[in-house]
Amino acid sequence: MNDLTIWGRTNSINVQKVLWVCEDLKIEHKRIDAGMEFGVTKTPEYLKFNPNGLVPTINDNGFVLWESHTVMRYLVRRASNGSDASSTMDSGDENSLYPLNPKGAARVDQWLDWCNTVAWPAMRPLFWGWVRLKPEERNPQELEANRQLMIKAFTVFDGHLESHTYAAGEHFTLADIPMALIAYRWFNIPVDRPHFENISLWYKLVSDRPGFKKYCSAPLT
């Protein structure tokens, strides 16, 4: 089945989340470059699909969806419902990327929300400042304030990983994906970083996943 289209450039963190899920679950899809230098997102056709004019957007045989975390959850459920015959997902697998049981799912949601409200808002200005802005455009105070916020966020995550192998417990889930993509950005900008032992052990595991290797190993752009 190949009726799934994903719009988005591959260097976008939110597109990478979705592509990683597709890679781990072997979900067939077609991808169309969109966003930043590729344009597309401000065209009337695209805005009809996604009025935010952002990536990613998916079209699954007429079903259009945006918001990367929602799309990730949808793709896992779609795979476990057997609507993607090519997927490797076992139906009802509680160790899946997004468990069926309410507590397992809530634990994943908790960290996904935390990424959007705590970790990424701290990391985003650092990423933009160090990767996308020219040196003369950087605001040193803002960069330092966000470096401190990232250390605070990583302190929380590292403390959690003291007694858990992965973000949502003992198995790799969707919750690890945004966090791994944020960590990759953090480890690849020129800032002072304290060593976090538990994050370091977790990062070794998550960076070995097929989705990370395929979509998160190129230099930051």
Ligand X SMILES: N[C@@H](CCC(=O)N[C@@H](CS)C(=O)NCC(=O)O)C(=O)O
List interacting residues with ligand X (CB under 6 A).
12-14, 35-36, 41, 54-56, 67-68
Q: For residue 12, give the nearest of 135, 132, 138 by alpha carbon.
A: 132
Give whichever of 9 and 161 is closer to ligand X, judged by the CB atom.
9
Give whichever of 120 and 196 is closer to ligand X, judged by the CB atom.
120
Q: How far apart are CA 189 and CA 130, in angstroms?
A: 6
Which structure tokens are listed for 12?
Answer: 């976008």
Give whichever of 68 and 173 is closer to ligand X, judged by the CB atom.
68
Give whichever of 54 and 161 is closer to ligand X, judged by the CB atom.
54
Check whether the bond before 210 is cis (ω within 30° of 0): no
User: Smallest distance from the beta carbon of 127 to ligand X, in angstroms?
Assistant: 10
Give whichever of 41 and 80 is closer to ligand X, judged by the CB atom.
41
Q: What is the largest CA-CA distance in the chain?
A: 53
User: Smallest distance from the beta carbon of 13 to ligand X, in angstroms?
Assistant: 5
- Residue 50: enclosing H or E segment and its boundaries? none
β-partners of residue 166 are 169
Residue with the shortest CB distance to ligand X: 35
- Residue 48: HSE in the Cβ half-sphere, 13 Å Cα cutoff: 6
User: Smallest distance from the beta carbon of 12 to ligand X, in angstroms?
Assistant: 4
β-partners of residue 51 are none
User: Smallest distance from the beta carbon of 114 to ligand X, in angstroms?
Assistant: 14
User: Smallest distance from the beta carbon of 73 to ligand X, in angstroms?
Assistant: 12
